[in-house]
Amino acid sequence: EGRVLVDGLDLWVDEVAARRRLAYVPEHPDVTPYASVDELLGLVCRLRGEPLASRAEALERVGLTGQAGRTIRE
């Protein structure tokens, strides 16, 4: 019994909107390990129909702005 909220959206009531705010980052992604964090976030933005500016916003939100140029394997 309970509720699952994603950024204040109830996952069971408004599933599509709630899932739009989620991202899955696998431990062993099926992309080149030499892609940068910024490149991978760009791919996610394009797949989700988000503006590419969202990359910088996402990195800033989690305190990783300085890591954008590092490869995902790092």
pLDDT digits (tens, 9 = 90+) for 26-55: 777 677 888 999 998 998 888 888 899 999
The DSSP letter of residue 65 is G
Supply the mean pLDDT for the chain.
Answer: 87
In this prediction, residues 2-30 reach a mean pLDDT of 84
CA distance linking residue 7 with residue 39, whole number of Å? 25
74 vs 2, 4, 17, 27, 68, CA distance in Å?
38, 32, 32, 12, 11
Tell me if 27 sits within 8 A of 17, measured CB to CB: no
> Which pLDDT score is estimated for 29?
64
The answer to pTM > 0.85 is: no
What separation, in Å, do the N-terminal and C-terminal C-alpha atoms of the chain show?
A: 40
